[in-house]
């Protein structure tokens, strides 16, 4: 066991991946000497050289487009998009090419490209630095979309993502980068496409991923003081979705609240609500509720505490669920 921040756990995971497979490349803006603006790639260029840890020109479409070419040639690029809001210049390459080329080749081509995106708000940043673009990518068939929420998972998930032969959008909750926890560097970890129940409870299931897992755990602890037993599921993988864990949980608790930072309207929570309703209709005591951002652009940072779901808003939704 060793104690690592989430950022350092990713760094260790990337290091392992690069040691294990000489075809693994890290590429992006400022990933070299600077080690990335969040230092996730810190020290990698020093140890693996400029050919494997590539400071790219400032061009996101270029980063993903050339990563596709490198993958076609047998490499396994791990691309860093500096901030969530800057993935959009690369959206064309991700959506029209990365996601669809394997199918186009009837499976002859594999594109093992990982696109790492620090996501979400809560760090007092300016525009385009706090967004939650997951729905754009979960909506795009051909991509796997995952989100880590804690150091131990981050460590294994990044390695599994690099090993995976499919393109993966890998979300990292930037405001949790500095959270520390014990990580067993030898443990295999849960498979990449599985959800995990991170807290057991009887009365209601909170469903979250990435930055909101911690918020939900805090809400669950607070609810316990009021005598409510709250279960928390960390989805980990958004596409594919692990419906078995969700179905089992909600069938037992009878209530479900989905929490994410992105706007609720056509957000990822809508998919969960629909699927849980289909699977658990006869067990549900209340409609599946959603807590998330408003139908507005992410606000200037002085207002972000209002926009981001916090413990109170999660508990309020739990109360509303019980009011049915």
Partner 1 sequence: MTADAPRGVDAPPELVQLLTPEGERIEHPDYDIELTAEEVRSLYRDLVLVRRIDLEAVALQRQGELGIWASLLGQEAAQIGSGRALTDADMAFPTYREHGVAWCRDVDPVKLLGLFRGVSNGGWDPAEHNFHLYTIVIGSQALHAVGYAMGVQRDGAEAATIVYFGDGATSQGDVNESFIWASVFNAPVVFFCQNNQWAISEPLEKQSKIPLYKRASGFGFPGIRVDGNDVFACLAVTRRALQNAREGQGPTLIEAFTYRMGAHTTSDDPTRYRLADELEAWKLKDPIERVKAYLFKNQLADQEFFEKIDAEADALGKDVRSRCLALPDPPPGAIFDHVYAGAHALLDEEREQYLTYLAGFER
Q: Does 302 bind partner 1 (CB under 8 A)?
A: yes
The yes or no reply on residue 91 touching ligand TPP (CB under 6 A) is no
Of residues 112 and 118, the one with the C-beta less far from partner 1? 118
- Rounded to 10 deg, the angle between the 311-322 and 212-225 helix axes is 60
Of the candidates 19, 33, 58, 178, which one interacts with ligand TPP according to CB under 6 A? Answer: 58
Q: Work out which of 16, 21, 23, 37 binds partner 1, going by CB under 8 A.
A: 37
Write out the two tokens for 196.
Answer: 């995990």
**DSSP code per residue over 97-151:** IITTHHHHTTTS-----EEEEEE---S---TTSS---HHHHHTSTT-EEEE--SH
Whose Cβ is closer to partner 1: residue 105's or residue 295's? 295
Number of Cβ atoms within 10 Å of the Cβ of 74 = 9
Smallest separation (angstroms) from partner 1 to the CB of 318 = 14
Residue with tokens 């990365």: 98
- In degrees and rounded to multiples of 5, residue 257 shows phi and psi of -125, 125
Least distance from partner 1 to the Cβ atom of residue 61, Å: 5
Q: Which of 232, 264, 265 is nearest to 246 (CA)?
A: 232
Active site includes 129?
yes
Decide: is 89 part of the binding site for ligand TPP (CB under 6 A). Answer: yes
Whole-angstrom distance, CA of residue 223 vs CA of residue 94? 41
Contact flag: residue 269 with partner 1 (CB under 8 A): no
| Token pair listed for 141 | 């068939």
Out of 21, 34, 52, 86, the only residue in the binding site for ligand TPP (CB under 6 A) is: 86
Q: How far is residue 186's CA from residue 265's CA, in Å, rounded to a whole number?
A: 41
**Can you give the C-alpha Rg of the chain in angstroms?**
19
Task: Compute how many other C-beta atoms are within 10 angstroms of the C-beta atom of residue 306.
Answer: 11
Strand 53-55 to strand 24-28: parallel, antiparallel, or no bridges (unpaired)?
Answer: parallel
Shortest Å, Cβ 125 to ligand TPP: 11
- Residue 85 or 210: the one with the smaller Cβ distance to ligand TPP is 85
Locate 248 and state its tokens: 């089992």
Largest CA distance in the chain: 60
> Using CA atoms, how far apart are residues 16 and 222, in angstroms rounded to an integer?
38
Residue 237's beta-bridge partner residues? 146
Size of the site for ligand TPP (CB under 6 A): 6
Q: How far is the CB of 3 from ligand TPP (least distance, A)?
A: 31
Confirm or reject binding of residue 51 to partner 1 (CB under 8 A): no
Which one from 129, 139, 260, 306 is the annotated catalytic residue?
129
Local structure of 246: helix, strand or coil: helix
89 binds partner 1, rule: CB under 8 A: yes
| 295 near partner 1, judged by CB under 8 A | yes
Q: Does residue 136 bind ligand TPP (CB under 6 A)? A: no
Strand partners, 146: 170, 237
Other CB atoms within 10 Å distance of the CB of residue 248: 15
Which residue in the set 34, 181, 222, 311 belongs to the binding site for partner 1 (CB under 8 A)? 34
Shortest Å, Cβ 83 to ligand TPP: 6
Tokens of 150: 């804690």
Task: Please report how close the Cβ of residue 58 comes to ligand TPP at its closest, in angstroms.
Answer: 5
Nearer to partner 1, 118 or 201 (CB): 118
The smaller minimum CB distance to partner 1, of residues 57 and 188, is found at 57
The residues assigned a catalytic role are 129
Q: Under the rule (CB under 6 A), what is the footprint of ligand TPP?
A: 29, 58, 60, 82, 86, 89
Q: Under the rule (CB under 8 A), what is the footprint of partner 1?
A: 29-30, 32-35, 37, 55-59, 61-62, 85-86, 88-89, 124-129, 265, 294-297, 299-304, 306-307, 312-313, 316
């Amino acid at each position: 066991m060793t104690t690592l921040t989430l950022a350092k756990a990713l760094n260790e995971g990337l290091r392992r991946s690069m040691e294990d497979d000489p075809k693994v490349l890290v590429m992006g803006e400022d990933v070299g000497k600077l080690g990335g603006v969040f230092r996730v790639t810190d020290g990698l260029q020093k140890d693996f050289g400029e050919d494997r840890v590539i400071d790219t020109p400032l061009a996101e479409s270029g980063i993903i487009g050339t990563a596709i070419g490198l993958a076609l040639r047998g490499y396994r690029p791990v691309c860093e998009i500096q901030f969530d809001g800057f993935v959009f210049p690369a959206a064309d390459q991700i959506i029209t090419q990365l996601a669809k080329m394997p199918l186009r080749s009837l499976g002859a081509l594999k594109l093992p490209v990982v696109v790492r995106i620090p996501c979400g708000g809560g760090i007092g940043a300016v525009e385009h630095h706090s967004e939650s673009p997951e729905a754009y990518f979960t909506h795009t068939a051909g991509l796997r979309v995952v989100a880590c929420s804690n150091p131990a998972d981050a460590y294994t998930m990044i390695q599994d993502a690099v090993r995976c032969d499919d393109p993966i959008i890998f979300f990292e909750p930037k405001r949790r980068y500095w959270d520390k926890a014990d990580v067993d560097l030898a443990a295999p970890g849960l498979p990449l496409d599985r959800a995990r129940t991170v807290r057991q409870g009887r009365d209601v299931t909170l469903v979250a991923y990435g930055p909101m897992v911690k918020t939900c755990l805090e809400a669950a602890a607070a609810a316990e003081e009021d005598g409510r037993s709250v279960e928390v599921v960390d989805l980990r993988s958004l596409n594919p979705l692990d419906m078995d864990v969700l179905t089992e949980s909600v069938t037992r608790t009878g209530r479900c609240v989905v929490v994410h930072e992105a706007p609720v309207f056509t957000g990822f929570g809508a998919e969960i609500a629909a699927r849980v309703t289909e699977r658990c209709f006869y067990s549900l005591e209340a409609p599946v509720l959603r807590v998330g951002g408003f139908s507005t652009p992410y606000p200037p940072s002085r207002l972000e505490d209002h926009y981001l779901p916090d413990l109170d808003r999660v508990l309020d939704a739990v109360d509303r669920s019980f009011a049915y």
